[in-house]
Every structure is written in C-alpha cells, then in structure tokens.
Chain A
Amino acid sequence: MSDKKDEKRLDEIISLTINTGKPRFDPEKWKQKYPEEFQMLQSMSQKDSRTRQPSIWRTVRQRPITKIAAAAAVIIIAIGFFIVHQRPSEQADTTTVSKVTESLPEMLTVASLNIAYRKGGLEAAEAQFEKVHHKRKTQATGMSAQELLEDFNG
C-alpha cells in the first residue's frame, strides 16, 4: 500500500476513534449551572458604565501622546496663571514711580534729606528738614526744583 493511502487510512482510523460527535454548547444549561458567573458577567456592564463617567483621566493614561499633551497643557496653564498674577504688582510699581516722578519737588526734598544725613548724620538731616519745611511753609506754591537743588549740599 502506498504512503498516501496509509496516511488516509490512519486519518480515517483516528477520526473514527476520536470523533464521537460534535459537542454543542448550550447557553441556557451553562447559565443554570453557573448562575454566579453569569451574574458576574452582567454586572461587568454596570461596573463599566459607572467607571466610564470620569473617563478623561483614563483616556489620558491610555497613550503616551495624551500624557505628553496633558503635561504640556498643565504647564501652559501654570505659566498663564503666573503671568496673570504677576501683572497687578508690576502695575502697582509703575504707579508709585509715576507718583514720585509727578512730584519732583518732593522727591528732591527726600534726596536732599538723604544727602544731609550722609554728610552730617541725624542732626544735619533734622536741620535740613527744618530748613526745607520752613521754606515750603513760607512759599505757598512750594519750593521750585532749582531752590531744592541748591539745598542739596545740605
């Protein structure tokens, strides 16, 4: 007998020995036999719908690209906040500077007091203050910049 025929015969014998009819799955019987598992399977959908609601974080964690995008978004938001919070203080600084520059005689008064203090200490500063105060009191319009600059030497 040829090899092919032998193989065919062997196939037939094996099939005859093993094949005892196609097994068929009965879902109803299985449900009855394993009710706990069937309930567990159904509860998965409820569990899933409950966990699906806050899905943004899950979506972010799923892929590396979304993680990077989320990190970038957080950084941008942080920078934005930083910029917004920085602005008011800068504005405050500019207003104080403008206030000082607006009243030049006052600024020069302070400067002249400072110079007097450096040169002769507290007494010299007091004397300068008295002098300036007296001069500003006598002149209703206040001292001019020229007059104050003259006093700079204390």
Chain B
Amino acid sequence: MQVYNSERWAGDVQKLEKEEPVLQKPDLTLVERACNGDADSFTELCRRYYPAMVAIAHSVIGDRHLAEDAAQQTFAKAVRKLPQLKNKDKFAAWLAAICRNVALDLARSRGMHQTADDLSMIAAKTHKSDITDIVKEAINELSAPAREVIFLRYYDGMTYEQISAVLGISEQAINGRLRRAKKKMANYLRHSGFGEV
C-alpha cells in the first residue's frame, strides 16, 4: 500500500494547482493566450495536438520517425504564423493544414512522396507475406483524405469529435469517409486473398 506523507501531499497539490489552470482550459483560451506570447499555453496546445499531427504527417510520409519531425516542424511554423491566425476557434484545422504542407515538403525533399500507383506497382513486385503488409498496401491505395481519417482514427483512437476539430469537417462527413475507406480496404484485402476480414 502506498503511504502518502503530508509533505508529498502538499507538493502534489501545489503541482496540481499549477498545472490545472492550463490543462483544463479550452482550446480557444489557450490559443488566445499563446497569441499573446504565453509559452505554457502553446506547449499545452502542442501536447494536445501532437498525436494528431504525427498521424496526419504519417499518412503523407509513411514513416513514423519522419512524421514526428514533421509534427515538431509544424509547431515551429505555427509560431511564425500565429499572428496571421484569424479564426482562433479553428486552430486545430489550421495546424493540420500546416502539417500537411510540411509533410509534403519533407517527403518531396527526401524523395519519399509516393502515389498510390507507385505503391501498387511496388506491391505487385513484392511478396505479400504478412497481413500487416497487405493492410499497409490497402491504406496506400486510399485517397489522401481517406488515408488521413484512417490514421487519425486508428493511430491514437481519436473520437469523431476530435477528428472533426482537426479536419474542420462534420462528424457525419467523417463517419461517411471512414466507412468508404474501410469498405475499400476490405475489398482490397479480399482481392489479396484474405477472404474474411
């Protein structure tokens, strides 16, 4: 059993009092504070949207490590562009747009940007041994917006509400996009010899 002494308790309470104001604030408040140069608020925004940005970048680049680099670069670019942000309530969608561009630039600079056609050609040449490889191929066959939704949904188990905030579209639209993407993937897997998925 964990023993809680009074000093530790007081320290934890102080820590919580310090952390809670920023942690509990809604995005809009944090964005407004960040625009006024509050580094803590901006850090909290980064914490909140880092997984989503990594997911978006991963869907473009196809590499986890580079996706993390792209997400960090996105925040750096966001700081520079922060004074230009007009709709502060659409911060997440604005950040996602920056992330897409950063990821595309990064992929282009490293010669990593592959179209669905390129990937299907590679897939045809390579031996389809593992189901995860086939799933990766199926994901690469999807359009960029569909791939993005799949990554956001399955990367960190984001809710429709969270995805809606990041992509700036309605939850119904996300549901439709996700269903179509999964249907397409299921068809691809069936054609690849995985009959029951």
Is A23's CB under 8 angstroms from B71's CB? yes
Is A1's CB under 8 angstroms from B38's CB? no
Residue in contact with A6 in the complex, picked from B38, B80, B196, CB distance below 8 Å: B196
Question: Which A residues between 1 and 49 are near B, CB-CB below 8 angstroms?
Answer: 1, 6-7, 9-11, 13-20, 22-25, 27, 29-30, 33-34, 37-38, 40-48
Total interface residues in chain A, CB < 8 Å: 34
Question: Which A residues between 75 and 115 are near B, CB-CB below 8 angstroms?
Answer: none
Within 8 Å of chain A (Cβ to Cβ): is B36? yes
Is B76's CB under 8 angstroms from A34's CB? yes
Is A40's CB under 8 angstroms from B196's CB? no
Residue in contact with A18 in the complex, picked from B37, B39, B47, B155, CB distance below 8 Å: B155
Bound: A97/B1 CA distance, A: 106
Secondary structure at the A interface, as helix, strand, loop or mixed, is helix
Is B131's CB under 8 angstroms from A25's CB? no
Is A22's CB under 8 angstroms from B136's CB? no
Within 8 Å of chain A (Cβ to Cβ): is B151? yes
Q: Chain B: which residue is nearest A29 at the CB level?
A: B72
Bound: A17/B92 CA distance, A: 26
Task: Return the CB mask of B33-71 against A: 1 if under 8 Å, else 0.
Answer: 011111100110011001100100010000010001001
Residue in contact with B196 in the complex, picked from A9, A17, A22, CB distance below 8 Å: A9
A97 CB to nearest B CB, Å: 65
Within 8 Å of chain A (Cβ to Cβ): is B154? yes
Bound: A44/B42 CA distance, A: 12
State the A residues within 8 Å of B (CB). 1, 6-7, 9-11, 13-20, 22-25, 27, 29-30, 33-34, 37-38, 40-48
4 additional contacts (CB under 8 A) given A10-B185, A48-B37: A23-B54, A29-B72, A30-B46, A48-B36
Q: List 18 A-B contacts (CB under 8 A).
A: A10-B197, A13-B197, A16-B135, A17-B139, A18-B150, A19-B154, A23-B51, A23-B54, A25-B43, A25-B50, A27-B43, A27-B46, A33-B76, A34-B72, A41-B82, A44-B35, A48-B36, A48-B37
